[in-house]
Amino acid sequence: MNAPARRPPVAPATPPAKVLIAERLAIGHGRTVIAADIDVAIARGEVLCLIGPNGSGKTTLFRTLLGLLPALSGAVMLDGRPLAAFGRAALARRVAHVPQAETSAFAYTVLDLVLMGRTAHLGLFATPRPADMDAALAALGTLGIADLAGRDAALISGGQRQLMLIARALAQDAGILVLDEPTASLDLGNRVRVLTEIRRLADRGIAVILSTHEPEQALAIADTAAILAGGRLVASGRVAEIVTAEALTAAYGTAVSVEHTAGGRLVVVPELPPRGTDRRSRPEEDP
Whole-angstrom distance, CA of residue 59 vs CA of residue 98: 12
Residue 106 pLDDT grade (very low, low, confident, very high; cuts 50, 70, 90):
low
Q: Give CA–CA dist 210/178, Å, rounded.
A: 6
pLDDT at position 285 is: 45
**Which one has a higher pLDDT value, 170 or 287?**
170
Residue type, 263: G
Residue 264: pLDDT band (50, 70, 90) is confident
pLDDT attached to residue 286: 43
What value does the mean pLDDT take over residues 181-206?
A: 90
**Which range has the worst mean pLDDT, 57-61, 104-108, 133-137, 276-280?**
276-280
Query: Helix or strand or coil: residue 257?
Result: strand
pLDDT (0 to 100) of residue 8 = 53
- Topology (CATH level 3) of domain 16-94+176-242: Rossmann fold (3.40.50)
With a cut of 80, say whether residue 191 has pLDDT above it: yes
pLDDT above 70 coverage of the chain, percent: 87
State which amino acid sits at residue 38: I
> Global pTM?
0.82
Confidence check: pLDDT of 105 > 70: no
176-179 and 207-212 beta bridge pairing:
parallel
Q: What is the pLDDT of residue 19?
A: 94
Average pLDDT, the chain: 86
SS3 43: strand
Average pLDDT over residues 33-42: 94
> Given this model, what pLDDT does residue 263 score?
80
What pLDDT shows up at residue 93?
86
Residue 21 in this model has a pLDDT that exceeds 60: yes
Q: Rounded CA gap, 221 and 198, in Å?
A: 8
For the cut 80, the answer to whether the pLDDT of residue 100 exceeds it is no
Residue 16, CA distances (Å) to 13, 43, 75, 205 in order: 9, 6, 21, 11
Main-chain phi, psi angles of 253, to 5 degrees? 70, 25
Q: List every span in the chain annotated with CATH 3.40.50.300.
A: 16-94+176-242
272 vs 166, more confident: 166
Q: In this predicted structure, what is the pLDDT of residue 25?
A: 95
The rounded radius of gyration (Å) of the Cα atoms in the chain is: 22
pLDDT at residue 45 is higher than 70: yes
Is residue 225's pLDDT more than 90?
Answer: yes
- Judged against a pLDDT cut of 90, whether residue 277 lies above it is answered with no
Q: How far is CA 245 from the centre of its chain?
A: 21
How far, in Å, CA of 236 to CA of 135, rounded?
35
User: Average of pLDDT values for 167-184?
Assistant: 91
The per-residue pLDDT for 276 is 65
Residue 281 has pLDDT above 80, yes or no: no
